Amino acid sequence: MVGSAIWRALEAKGYIHLIGRTSKELDLRNQQAVQDFFSKEKPEVVIDAAARVGGIMANNTYPYQFLMENMQIQNNLIDTAFHSGVEKFIFLGSSCIYPKMAPQPLKEEYLLTGPLEPTNEWYAVAKITGVKACEAIRKQFGRDYISLMPTNLYGPFDNFDLKTSHVLPAMIRKFHDAKHSDLSMLSGVEAGSKNSPVELWGSGTPMREFLYVEDLAEAVVFALENEFQDNLYNVGTGEDLTIKELALLIQRIVGHTGEIFWDSTKPDGTPRKLMDVSKMTQAGWKAKTSLEDGIRKTYQWFLEHQDSFKEVKI
């Protein structure tokens, strides 16, 4: 999702000497493969949009893979770029690098000031090491290695697999499938009266911020074309809403008319994760896509590509 959005943004700006590989074409966990790639292609700038990602369930189920594979990917890219003489490196992380109970909104200076959220600490620790690696190269060798920490992302080419997806695309998938499920198979529900119900994790009270992926892509291009003074910058909208409000918004956009049930036995995660984006604003960049417009665009993309998704039971 992120890599393709950045690619499209670069092409739109007129960049033509682009080099990219999918995970199938280049296994970034393989150090020798990465070194061979750099030796052959000799990139001048590197944008690291690669990671193993997923929601609470995936992080809880595969902690070792989320820790180790993300460190392998970024360490191979950062170290090989450094030894290959790359002067500009843009590392993409996540807002989950900040402490669980950090003051809101989250400022860059809050990094490493408290314990992480347990449900995604494996991914967070990996990303923190990437941030620090870029900072160390910047400090010791003076190269323009910077880290951009986006808030929760969504958009075209998102992951809609209910076992591994993040909250927003998972909701789109659940509400869509419930809207089109066969009500005649549900006991106690009259066909034609309502869509089937949707069950969502947690209490719905945590607050989250969401950024349309094409806005992030524009932020990356902005960082590419400008020299920043610091090594770490938050990228977001600076606005958030509760998970319950998000659910109602997506439900309305999808057109689902059934009930919503909240499973409070499931974890909520961090109570709030709102980004302080004042540093990016002062640098000259600001997000422009509203949450409703972004979700509508994302749902339209989902509808155009839904035949490629496997059916999932509600």
Can you spell out the DSSP letters for 208-255?
E-EEEHHHHHHHHHHHHHS--SSSEEEES-S--EEHHHHHHHHHHHHT
3-state secondary structure of 279: helix
CA gap 34, 224 in Å, rounded: 22
- What are the residue numbers of the active site? 123
Residue 233 amino acid letter: Y
Across 263-268, average pLDDT: 90
pLDDT value at residue 56: 76
pTM of the model: 0.89
Among the residue ranges 64-68, 82-86, 114-118, 190-194, the one predicted with the least confidence is: 190-194
Would you say residue 299 has pLDDT above 90?
Answer: yes
Look at residue 259 and tell me whether its pLDDT is greater than 50: yes
**Does 3.40.50.720 match the CATH number of domain 2-305?**
yes
Residue at 34: amino acid letter: V
Report helix, strand or coil for 18. coil
User: CA–CA separation, 217 vs 304, rounded Å?
Assistant: 22
Domain parsing of the chain, residue ranges: 2-305
What percent of the chain shows pLDDT beyond 90? 81
Q: What is the pLDDT of residues 135-194, one digit of tens each?
A: 999 999 999 999 999 999 999 999 898 887 889 999 999 999 999 885 545 555 554 557
Return mean pLDDT, the chain: 92
Instruction: Indicate the annotated binding residues.
Output: 92-95, 127, 150-153, 166, 174, 201, 208, 268
Are 208 and 166 in contact by the 8 Å Cβ rule? The answer is no
pLDDT score recorded for residue 59: 84
Residue 289 near residue 212 (C-beta atoms within 8 A):
yes
203: its two tokens? 């209490």
For residue 133, pLDDT beyond 90: yes
- As a whole number, mean pLDDT of residues 249-266 equals 95
pLDDT of residue 206: 93
235 versus 189: the higher-pLDDT residue is 235
Q: Please name the residues in contact with 142: beta carbons below 8 A apart, sequence gap of 6 or more.
A: none
The Cα-based distances of 209 to 132, 239, 259 in angstroms read: 24, 6, 24
* pLDDT(211) > 90: yes
